[in-house]
């Protein structure tokens, strides 16, 4: 199990390194080949629309991939994303690039929520494992920023492909080691997980569980607390994803450079890792519900502060704010969801979370962000992001989601 832990660390490191290579610089790349702010927003938003459909589609395949515990599904997605990225390099026409980027998102978008499901299934500490995604993202941004400064922004696509090819190799290694063992998720009062062998699974697979599998997404949609949490996530997650696209414009507008974007993201994304690792201790002391609320408030305050157009060196000096926000939000939303849904359909819950809250919200933020930037400037984009977060905070409090949710009270 310990060896497999390091394999999952590798998966997080390289999949998020791939995102770190592309997401912070895709806006700069599209701008360099002549696309407008509205076109940039449309490309990223349209790709996210595809992600809304891709995540549930691939989650069903993942759910049926019992022989390989979902690993084969993630492997296929990594390979397809890598090859599609290579093909997009030479595309300069807006319409063709739009369609190709949408296809790329169809393969890439589901990888992250399905990777989360893998970790929840095998029982490793989510926060301690997920932090390697933040480290990988930071390294991806730093490396791509430095190389792009020398070789040009087109280099981000082959670097992206290499990261996903490495991930695919790691997954093959996991599949080989798991040939004779199948894991199934179990949850206890403390929201921790442990695995069982294949023989135990056969004896514990009940009629109730099989019926739950048939119900699928319908049972999730009937979970009122989950729907409330997803609505709040809608007003938080999209701004954090869209920030990857628009931060480069803000940073350059305030006096920074392209290479400096990479260094800024290294600090900001790198600061997420310690907060992710520290989430368990914070939650045990204050409850994850309250810790999540604090992170939401910091997120809104941070973006509103960005809208005041502070100098780039000041933004750089406050890099740890991203760690405080993303490091907590990315872990605690997932852990909150794990508390309020049946563990047997956690992969579907993760896909729904990605599709409805993260993807839908990102579409809004990317589209309006591009339009606002064309009409006003990058500072106005961040004022929009901050106010958008404020809505999420108000809803979170009005739903009473800051109150501790006891697993004993979960409806079976």
pLDDT at 78: 95
pLDDT at 250: 92
3-state secondary structure the chain: CHHHHHHHHHHHHHHHHHHHHHHHHHHHHHHHCCCCHHHHHHHHHHHHHHHHHHHHHHHHHHHHCCCCCCHHHHHHHHHHHHHHHHHHCCCCCHHHHHHHHHHHHHHHCCHHHHHHHHHHHHCCCHHHHHHHHHHHHHHHHHHHHHHHHHHCHHHHHHHHHHHHHHHHHHHHHHHHHCCCCCCCCCECCCCCECCCCHHHHHHHCCHHHHHHHHHCHHHHHCCHHHHHHHHHHHHHHHHHHHHHHHHHHHHHHCCCCHHHHHHHHHHHHHCHHHHHHHHHHHHHHHCHHHHHHHHHHHHHHHHHHHCCCCCHHHHHHCCHHHHHHHHHHHHHHHHHHHHHCCHHHHHHHHHHHHHHHHHHHHHHHHHHHHHHHHHCCHHHHHHHHHHHHHHHHHHHHHCCCCCCCCHHHCCC
pLDDT in tens, the chain (412 residues): 455 778 888 999 999 999 989 887 888 899 889 888 888 888 887 877 887 788 778 888 887 777 777 788 899 999 999 999 999 988 989 999 999 999 999 999 889 888 888 777 676 677 778 888 888 888 888 888 888 888 889 999 999 999 999 999 999 988 887 765 544 444 343 343 333 444 443 434 444 444 544 556 677 888 889 999 999 999 998 898 889 888 988 998 998 887 788 788 888 878 888 888 888 888 888 999 999 999 999 999 999 999 998 999 999 999 899 888 988 998 899 889 988 887 777 777 877 887 777 778 888 898 899 889 889 989 999 999 999 999 999 999 999 999 887 654 443 3
Q: What are the φ/ψ torsions at residue 270 (nearest 5 degrees)?
A: -65, -30
pLDDT at 235: 94
Fold of 2-399: Growth Hormone; Chain: A; (1.20.1250)
Could you state, in order of their start, the residue ranges of all structural domains in the chain? 2-399
pLDDT at 145: 81
pLDDT at 124: 65
For 330, the token pair is 């990315």
């Amino acid at each position: 199990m310990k060896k497999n832990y390091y394999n999952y660390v590798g998966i997080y490191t390289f999949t998020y390194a791939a995102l770190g290579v592309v997401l912070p610089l895709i806006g700069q790349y599209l701008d360099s080949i002549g696309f407008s702010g509205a076109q940039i927003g449309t490309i990223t938003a349209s790709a996210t629309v595809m992600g809304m459909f891709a995540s549930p589609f691939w989650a069903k395949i993942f759910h049926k991939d019992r022989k390989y515990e979902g690993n084969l599904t993630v492997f296929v997605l990594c390979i397809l994303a890598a090859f599609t990225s290579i093909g997009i390099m030479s595309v300069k026409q807006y319409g063709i690039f739009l369609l190709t980027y949408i296809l790329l998102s169809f393969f890439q978008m589901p990888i992250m929520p399905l990777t989360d499901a893998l970790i929840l299934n095998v029982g490793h500490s989510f926060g301690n494992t997920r932090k390697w995604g933040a480290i990988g993202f930071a390294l991806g941004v730093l490396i791509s920023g430095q190389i792009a400064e020398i070789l040009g922004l087109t280099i981000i696509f082959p670097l992206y492909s290499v990261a996903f090819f490495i991930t695919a190799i790691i997954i093959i290694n996991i599949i080989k080691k798991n040939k004779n063992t199948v894991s199934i998720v179990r949850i206890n009062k403390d929201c921790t997980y442990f695995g069982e062998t294949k023989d135990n699974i056969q004896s514990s697979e009940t009629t109730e569980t099989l019926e739950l599998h048939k119900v699928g997404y319908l049972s999730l949609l009937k979970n009122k607390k989950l729907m409330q949490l997803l609505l709040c996530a809608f007003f938080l997650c999209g701004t954090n994803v869209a920030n990857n696209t628009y931060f480069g414009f803000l940073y350059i507008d305030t006096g920074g450079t392209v290479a400096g974007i990479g260094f800024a993201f290294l600090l900001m994304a790198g600061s997420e890792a310690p907060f992710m690792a520290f989430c368990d201790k914070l939650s045990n002391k204050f409850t994850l519900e309250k810790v999540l609320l604090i992170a939401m408030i910091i997120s809104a305050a941070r973006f509103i502060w960005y809208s005041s157009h502070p100098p780039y060196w000041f933004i750089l000096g406050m890099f740890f704010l991203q760690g405080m926000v993303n490091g907590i939000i990315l872990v605690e939303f997932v852990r909150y969801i794990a508390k309020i849904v049946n563990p047997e359909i956690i992969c579907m819950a993760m896909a729904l979370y990605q599709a409805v809250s993260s993807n839908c919200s990102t579409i809004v933020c990317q589209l309006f962000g591009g339009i606002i930037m064309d009409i006003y400037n990058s500072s106005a984009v961040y004022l929009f992001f901050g106010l958008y977060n404020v809505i999420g905070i108000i809803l979170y409090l009005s739903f009473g989601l800051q109150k501790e949710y006891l697993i004993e009270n979960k409806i079976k």
